[in-house]
């Protein structure tokens, strides 16, 4: 327990990243965003995504660090 | 600026469009949306410790694993709501780990301990059905896009929870004897608590901003009727008494609503009708298990905090 006390608790802080989770059910589908996870590294993000978004038998799942997504425009923002 | 934003929001809502960003909201829409999300997140979150404390009484390892799978779902559902709140500028850490237990906004029913496997599966059939009705309405009607989309997963899983509850209730009822008596007793106290869950009757609730903003589509009484219309026939079908009956298209309770509830005894006194003010003060005071359940997820956070 002693050593644990020195660990910063970092669930939603500097040392963690947010990842968007994408998945699809069938080959004819395209990937769509199904949610997001917050994790300290890619491996844990993979594990969290697999365990959290288990509502379907997805044939594909992909995670992307949110900061890697480049938004060109979005609803509610000024027109491009 | 403020006025044009409000006009734009109005136009979007009237056209049945989804609201996608904070820049499209008025302060009042944002406030109502956050309030609705907090109630939903808190309800999902608290169901995890409530179900966990009862799942420990599972009759087999298989049954226990099903209980744990449901708990994991509920935590994911809570995450969806709190994550949206974070995107809207609230602190997830504060909401989950730093709030006083009494400030959580989940239905009173969860404060009354679920103490057996029978009570847990009855909760899956009655409470999760209530969640299914409430969230199903939000899923269909909600004007806030990110929440509407997030609820796809939630609806699929709630459906599994309540089916699991119904299957077990049917099995327990078929076993008969003491097992069936215990099931009837669980329904006797849990049924009226779930009826209460939907809130004040429409004739006492003058106006709902949630309806104006299309955060939900059905009124309290409409949701209550929808719940009764599935739960009462189900209980009838498994030979368990439900304290309600059908008159024309409406479901009518066989007891005065609201009535007085003794949480320690888990007993309703239907000879002692009370006022909604009495109910609201019972809700505000919270019930027996509130602090214990909140401690279950807050404790480790405080243990592992670094001291500055
Ligand atoms: Fe849930
Ligand atoms: Fe559930």
B244: β partners: B253
Shortest CA distance from B77: residue in chain A: A52
φ/ψ bin of B90: left (φ > 0), alpha (ψ from -120 to 50), beta (otherwise): beta
What integer pLDDT is reported at residue B91 of this predicted model? 92
Q: Which among B258, B239, B220 is positioned nearest to B134, based on CA atoms?
A: B220
What integer pLDDT is reported at residue B5 of this predicted model? 84
What integer pLDDT is reported at residue A2 of this predicted model? 43
Q: Give A42 Cα–ligand 2 centroid separation in angstroms.
A: 29
Residue B236 exposure: Cα atoms within 13 Å on the Cβ side:
10
Are the beta carbons of A75 and B21 separated by less than 8 Å? Answer: yes
Please give, one letter per residue, the 3-state secondary structure of A2-52.
CCHHHCCCCCCCCCCEEEEEEEECCCCCCCEEEEEEEECCHHHHHHHHHHH
Cα→Cα distances B160→B9, B104, B202, B239, B307, Å: 36, 26, 30, 22, 42
A75 vs B: CB within 8 A: yes
Residues from chain A that touch B24, judged by Cβ atoms under 8 A, are 75-76
- Evaluate if residue A5 carries a pLDDT over 50: no
Query: Which B residues 44-103 touch A at CB under 8 Å?
Result: 72, 76, 79-80, 83, 86, 92-93
- Evaluate if residue A16 carries a pLDDT over 90: no
Give residue A6's pLDDT band: very low, low, confident or very high (50, 70, 90): very low
What integer pLDDT is reported at residue A76 of this predicted model? 81
Contacts of A18 (CB under 8 A, 6+ apart): A36, A37, A38, A65, A66, A67
Q: Which two tokens stand for residue B89?
A: 């500028």
Query: Which B residues 253-282 touch A at CB under 8 Å?
Result: none
Domains of chain A (ranges; CATH) run 17-68 (3.10.20)
Per-position pLDDT tens, chain B of length 308: 456 789 999 999 999 999 999 999 999 999 999 999 999 999 999 999 999 999 999 999 999 999 999 999 999 999 999 999 999 999 998 999 999 999 999 999 999 999 999 999 999 999 999 999 999 999 999 999 999 999 999 999 999 999 999 999 999 999 999 999 999 999 999 999 999 999 999 999 877 899 999 999 999 999 999 999 999 999 999 999 999 999 999 999 999 999 999 999 999 999 988 999 999 999 999 999 999 999 999 988 877 765 54
Domain boundaries, chain B: 2-307
User: What value of ipTM does the predicted structure carry?
Assistant: 0.78
Q: How far is A73 from chain B (nearest CA, A)?
A: 12
- Evaluate if residue A78 carries a pLDDT over 90: no
Q: How many CB pairs under 8 A join A and B?
A: 50
Residues from chain B that touch A76, judged by Cβ atoms under 8 A, are 19-24
The string of DSSP codes covering B195-259 is: HHHT-S-TTT----HHHHTTS-SS-HHHHHHHHHHHHHHHHHHTT---SEEEETTEEEESS-SSE
CB distance A61 to A49 below 8 Å: yes
Burial of residue B209, with CB atoms counted within 10 A of its CB: 0-12 exposed, 13-18 middle, 19 or more buried:
middle
| Homologous superfamily of domain range B2-307 | Ferritin, core subunit, four-helix bundle (1.20.1260.10)
Residues from chain B that touch A7, judged by Cβ atoms under 8 A, are 304, 306
Query: Which B residues 204-233 touch A at CB under 8 Å?
Result: none
Cα→Cα distances A47→A41, B69, B76, B78, B80, Å: 10, 16, 14, 18, 17
Shortest CA distance from B76: residue in chain A: A52
Residues from chain A that touch B83, judged by Cβ atoms under 8 A, are 36
Taking only the tens place, the pLDDT of each residue in A50-70 is: 999 999 999 999 999 999 999
**Cis amide linkage into residue B47, ω under 30° from 0:** no
Q: Which among B57, B55, B77 is positioned nearest to B66, based on CA atoms?
A: B55
Shortest CA distance from A50: residue in chain B: B76
Residues from chain B that touch A34, judged by Cβ atoms under 8 A, are 152-153
Higher pLDDT, A48 or A1: A48
The angle subtended at Cα B92 by Cα B304 and Cα B17, nearest 5°, is: 160
Q: Which two tokens stand for residue B271?
A: 């000879």
What integer pLDDT is reported at residue A79 of this predicted model? 56
CB distance B104 to B95 below 8 Å: no
């Amino acid at each position: 327990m002693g050593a644990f006390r020195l660990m910063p608790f970092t669930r939603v802080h500097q040392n963690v990243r947010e990842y968007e989770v994408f998945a699809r059910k069938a080959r004819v589908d395209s990937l769509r965003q199904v949610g997001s996870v917050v994790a300290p590294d890619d491996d844990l993000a993979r594990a969290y995504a697999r365990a959290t978004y288990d509502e379907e038998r997805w044939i594909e799942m992909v995670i992307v660090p949110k900061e890697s997504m480049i938004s060109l425009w979005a609803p509610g923002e000024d027109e491009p | 600026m403020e006025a044009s934003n409000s006009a734009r929001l109005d136009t979007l809502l009237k056209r049945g469009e989804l609201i996608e960003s904070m820049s499209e909201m008025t302060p009042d829409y944002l406030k109502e949306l956050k309030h609705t999300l907090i109630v939903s997140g808190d309800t999902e979150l608290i169901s995890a410790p409530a179900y966990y404390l009862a799942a420990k009484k599972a009759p087999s390892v298989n049954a226990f694993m099903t209980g744990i799978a449901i708990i994991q779902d509920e935590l994911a559902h809570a995450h969806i709501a709190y994550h949206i709140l974070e995107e809207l500028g609230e602190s997830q850490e504060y909401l989950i780990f730093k709030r006083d237990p009494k400030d959580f906004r989940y239905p009173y029913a969860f404060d009354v301990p679920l103490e057996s496997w029978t009570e847990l599966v009855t909760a899956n059939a009655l409470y999760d059905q209530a969640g299914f009705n409430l969230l199903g309405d939000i899923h269909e009607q909600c004007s806030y896009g990110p929440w509407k989309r997030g609820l796809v997963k939630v609806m699929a899983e709630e459906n599994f929870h309540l089916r699991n509850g119904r299957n077990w209730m049917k099995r327990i009822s078929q076993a008969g004897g003491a097992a069936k008596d215990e099931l009837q007793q669980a329904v006797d106290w849990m049924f009226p608590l779930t009826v209460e869950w939907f809130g004040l009757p429409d004739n006492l609730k003058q106006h709902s901003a949630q309806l104006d903003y299309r955060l939900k589509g059905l009124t309290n009484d409409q949701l209550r009727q929808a719940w009764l219309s599935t739960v009462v026939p189900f209980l009838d079908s498994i030979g368990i008494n439900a304290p309600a009956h059908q008159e024309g298209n409406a479901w009518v309770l066989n007891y005065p609503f609201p009535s007085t509830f003794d949480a320690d005894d888990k007993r309703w006194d239907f000879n002692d009708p009370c006022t909604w003010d009495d109910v609201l003060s019972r809700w505000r005071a919270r019930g027996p298990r509130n602090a214990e359940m909140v401690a279950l997820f807050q404790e480790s956070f405080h243990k592992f905090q670094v001291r500055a």
